[in-house]
Amino acid sequence: MSEQKHYIPIWFFVGALLLFYGVLITGAGIYYLFAPMPNEVVLAHLHAPIWWGGLLTALGAFYTIHFRPGKQ
Amino acid sequence: MTLLFLPSFWLQATQSRLLTMSPVDLVIVVAYFVLVLVIGFYLKRYASTGEDFFLAGRQMTASVAGLSFISANLGSLETMGYAAATYQHGMVIAHAYFIAAIPAILFLAIVMMPFYYISKTHSVPGYLKLRYGESTRSISSITFAVMTILMSGINMFSMAKVMQVILGWDFNYSMWVSSLTVAVYVMMGGLLSAIFNEVLQFFLIWFGSLLIPILGLIEAGGWDNMVARINQRFAGQDYTHLWRNMGSFTDNPMGLDWIGVVLGWGIAISFGYWTTDFLVVQRVLAAKNLRSAQLGTILGAALKMCVPLIVILPGLLGLAVLPMNLVSEPEALRTGQHSYNEVLPLMMARYCGPGLLGLGVTALIAGFMSGMAGNVSAFATVWTYDIYKALIRKTASDEHYVKMGRWCSILGVFASIGTAYLVMFFDNIIAYAQVIFIFGIVPQFGTIILGMLWKRVTPKGGFYGLLAGTLTSIGLFAWVRLDRSALKYVAFYENASEMADNIYRAFWCLLATFVVTIVVSLLTKPKPDSELENLVYGLTPIPKEKGLPWIQRPAFWAAVVGAAFVMVNIIFW
């Protein structure tokens, strides 16, 4: 076996991507809350982008902070 | 296991795009491409030795190995193909996630993994070399190399076609951009890069897909109302049970009976794929120790049982909530209606607005790309260790083999692109890929499992058993193609479906492998025990778990997953 190597954990990358996506999706959800599209999707009144994006943001932020580079 | 339902995705479809992306969706897609390239460049420095490049340094934790193991199998062909098949045939398709997966994965974890891991093999063909010799390895490695390139090409072709149909993207552009991205990141980081991206893809697939069943169930009014709607719309057909309509070939639209499901799909094909296909086994061989490899595999089984939530359930919800009835691909082409294959994109378009749509599309792209990366990294390993090093250049430095692995990754991608263009002109390649898969993978399971569990099996027994299984499969395939009435002997029913034919052929092929391996072994001289240490049951020191708390034992978690598997089958009987 080769020597143990310490790279940035995969969870950091997962967190960063989810955080980025979460912010974008929540932002889009809030934008379309005030400027609804002409052809809305089914169940648009549930505002899925806001709560789904919020979930991604929260999870992404947790993973990004918890597994950030340099943290032992 | 995608292979049984590998759809010939919109091979001739010409209708306009199904989805329209907004700028925020495009940013989401582009961010994914940027991140995977960043990961590839970042990991290059950690993939300097053969162990690093081909086995990710063997330092993966159980969770990473498990996620990667299941992601290597969870591609977009699978999610789209199985959702489509569920719309067409109903919940019986979920057998792919239960009987045709869980027993085999648990068997791999508890019974076979110790031998793979302790033998320190780099690959499944590598184990065959250690156990039986060079000739057996050669059959296995060459078949595997051809299969992986074929599958990788089919994967790329399907991705480009899907993107063309659902988003209106250019076929060549989609294929080249995604293929070259895969080539770069696999060449840089090898298996490590592939595993990182598979874990990333796992989260993308779940977060990109899970909202569809959640919103679908809300719209349908819960599970019971969904079932009621389906029964009302499709009166007289049973779409919501696993076993109830498997009594005979004519009781269900798949044209299968329970014997075929259990023996052919649940044993021959499933065990062949899950325990000996190096594409998936390679992921758990990268674990940091045997227990992590076993726990990772068991985690993979648990996650596999959850996949129906994002694959089978959207198909069922499509039956309940979509205003139109989807039809077969030829009928869709003739009449301009939507086909079964479009059920997942249609559900996506139904519920996902800007942002969420980008996430869903990125999940599809990630699934295709990681599927290709998985094939390419496995191909690079088998080519370098089991073909190039074994047959062409036996002695060279580790650095040389890593360099070969990197070039092989590029070569693999270009060969896949070539295959994708071939598929474009000869679409029956997809159907033949399924057949070739059964030729290669099922007999390999027979040879490996006998070799692992019985020291009396000889190198000649293994070789001729593998050969006999492969030839049986080819022979039965040719027989049925030449004379359809042969189906009454091969699949016990002369009007058996193609799937039933594949499944029963797999069973006969496994049986032939077992019989010939045992008979030839009993007639030939076995290897001495000293040459079988760490390879065979009874001659391999399996680490004891006595000192471990029960909660840390793989056997305990395998029992938990096994119990959940039984319960799910009873609940949805």
User: How far does A1 lie from chain B, in Å, by closest CA?
Assistant: 7
Smallest Cα distance from B231 to chain A, Å = 23
The two structure tokens encoding residue B331: 């009928």
For residue B64, list chain A residues with Cβ-Cβ distance below 8 A.
10
Q: What is the pLDDT of residue A26?
A: 95
Instruction: Kindly report, residue by residue over B391-445, the tens digit of the pLDDT.
Output: 888 888 888 998 998 898 898 889 989 988 887 776 666 666 667 777 778 889 9
Residues of B in contact with A46 (CB under 8 A): 215, 218
Q: Any bridge partners for residue B60, and if so which?
A: B287
Contact status, residue B98 vs residue B311, Cβ threshold 8 Å: no
Structure-token pair, residue B393:
């250049």
Percent of chain B with pLDDT over 90: 32
Beta bridge partners of B287: B60
Name, of B10-24, B100-114, B250-264, B419-433, the range with top average pLDDT: B100-114
Q: How confident is the model at residue A4 (pLDDT cuts 50, 70, 90)?
A: low
Please tell me the distance in Å from A53's CA to the nearest CA on chain B: 8
**Residue tagged 């010799």 (tokens):** B133
Q: By the CB < 8 Å criterion, does B238 face chain A? A: no
Question: Helix, strand, or coil here: B60?
Answer: strand
Q: Which residues in chain A touch residue B358, judged by CB atoms under 8 angstroms apart?
A: 24-25
Query: Other C-beta atoms within 10 Å of B290: how many?
Result: 16
pLDDT of residue B46: 85
B492 touches chain A (CB under 8 A): no
CB contact under 8 A, B51 and A1: yes
Give the angle subtended at the CA of B311 by the CAs of B100 and B163, to the nearest 5°.
Answer: 120
Contact B174, B164 (CB under 8 A): yes
Distance between CA atoms of residues B497 and B438, nearest Å: 16
Mutate to test the interface with A, among B34, B68, B207 (most CBs of A within 10 A): B207
**How much is the average pLDDT of A60-70?**
92
Q: Is residue B73 within 8 Å of B280, Cβ to Cβ? A: yes
**What is the dihedral sign for C-alpha B202, B208, B214, B217?**
negative
Contact A25 B356 (CB under 8 A): yes
d(CA B241, CA B90): 8
Alpha-carbon distance B223 to B394, whole Å? 60
Which among A7, A17, A28 is the nearest to B355, CB-wise? A28
Of residues B204, B355, B344, B207, the one with CA closest to residue A47: B355
- What pTM does this model have? 0.88
